[in-house]
């Protein structure tokens, strides 16, 4: 309904697994974002892509690897994660113009065992 979809909605993985999160936006926006939301913490911006180019990387560990093949798709590749990486991972998109109104997907609830 919001125009931003995320798959899978839930993911359980072991620390040695490799998995990917997918985000797709149908709003014609040029910027896409990955956020991490943990309990009792503010939303943490992880990565920003504008016109497929990464413009921000907020000191995210290399075990998180983003990929943006075009303005409508964004991936987050995960490998050798830690239990503390368990969180809700949210994707958002925006026009990135004078007001950066962001539209969020439903998120992927990730549990790392």
Partner 1 sequence: TQLLEQSPQFLSIQEGENLTVYCNSSSVFSSLQWYRQEPGEGPVLLVTVVTGGEVKKLKRLTFQFGDARKDSSLHITAAQPGDTGLYLCAGEFQAGTALIFGKGTTLSVSS
Residues that bind partner 1 (CB under 8 A): 2, 4, 6, 33, 40-43, 45, 48, 56, 88, 90-92, 96-107, 109
Closer CB to partner 1, 75 or 103, in the complex? 103
Quick check: helix, strand or coil at residue 110?
Answer: strand
Q: Which residues sit opposite 9 in a β-bridge?
A: none
Closer CB to partner 1, 45 or 60, in the complex? 45
Contact 111, 86 (CB under 8 A): yes
- Closest distance between partner 1 and the C-beta of residue 70, in Å? 21
β pairing state of 31-37 and 53-57: unpaired
- Closest distance between partner 1 and the C-beta of residue 15, in Å? 24
Closer CB to partner 1, 16 or 98, in the complex? 98
What is the C-alpha to C-alpha distance for residues 74 and 21, in angstroms, rounded to an integer?
8
Q: Is 70 exposed, middle or buried (0-12, 13-18, 19+ CB in 10 A)?
A: exposed
- Closest distance between partner 1 and the C-beta of residue 17, in Å? 22
Closer CB to partner 1, 59 or 98, in the complex? 98
């Amino acid at each position: 309904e919001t125009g931003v979809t995320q798959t899978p909605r839930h993911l359980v993985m072991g620390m040695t697994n490799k998995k990917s999160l997918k985000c797709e936006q149908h709003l014609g926006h040029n910027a896409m974002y990955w956020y991490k939301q943990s309990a009792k913490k503010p939303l943490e911006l992880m990565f920003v892509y504008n016109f497929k180019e990464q413009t921000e990387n907020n000191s995210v560990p290399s075990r998180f690897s983003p990929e943006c093949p075009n303005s409508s798709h964004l991936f987050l590749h995960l490998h050798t994660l830690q239990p503390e990486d368990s969180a809700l991972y949210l994707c958002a998109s925006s026009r990135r113009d004078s007001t950066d109104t962001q539209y969020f997907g439903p998120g992927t609830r990730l549990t790392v065992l």
